[in-house]
Amino acid sequence: MTTNKVTVSDVVEALAVATSDKSLPRASVTAATLLEGHLCLDSVDLAALAAVLHGRYGPGIDLVGHVAGLGIDEIIGLTVGDVADYVNRCLLSTS
């Protein structure tokens, strides 16, 4: 079974849904955009993003659990690209 790779654009779209920020897809969000530093995501936003990703890509996606296992510097440095990579790793491991 082949799965389509989740892109940064897919994550940005999920972020827009999770935060109700319709301007995000038009913003200059790249793989290097920091969730906390650039987008000012807080824990509630992250949980909402996790729920959107879980709903779109299935029960193998546990972004909150993943972030809980990171160190503080890794959490501060978490990027949109990191989230896409995480989802892709999860999808690859379940295929």
CA atoms 22, 29, 92, 45: torsion sign = negative
- Establish if 53 belongs to a structural domain: yes
Residue whose entry in the numeric block shows the structure tokens 């969000």 = 29
**Domain containing residue 70: CATH number:** 1.10.1200
Q: First-to-last CA distance in the chain?
A: 6
pLDDT, one tens digit per residue, over 43-55 is 999 999 999 999 9
Work out the angle at residue 85's Cα, subtended by the Cα atoms of residues 10 and 82, and round it to the nearest 5 degrees.
90
* pLDDT value of residue 7: 97
What is the enclosing helix (H) or strand (E) of 86? helix 80-94
Distance in angstroms (rounded) separating the CA atoms of residues 18 and 87? 16
* pLDDT value of residue 2: 43
- Establish if 40 belongs to a structural domain: yes
pLDDT < 70 regions, the chain: 1-3
Domain extent, residue 29, equals 8-94
What is the number of structural domains in the chain?
Answer: 1
* pLDDT value of residue 22: 87
- Establish if 3 belongs to a structural domain: no
- Establish if 1 belongs to a structural domain: no
Q: Is the pTM of this model over 0.75?
A: yes
Residue whose entry in the numeric block shows the structure tokens 């779109």 = 56
Length of the chain: 95
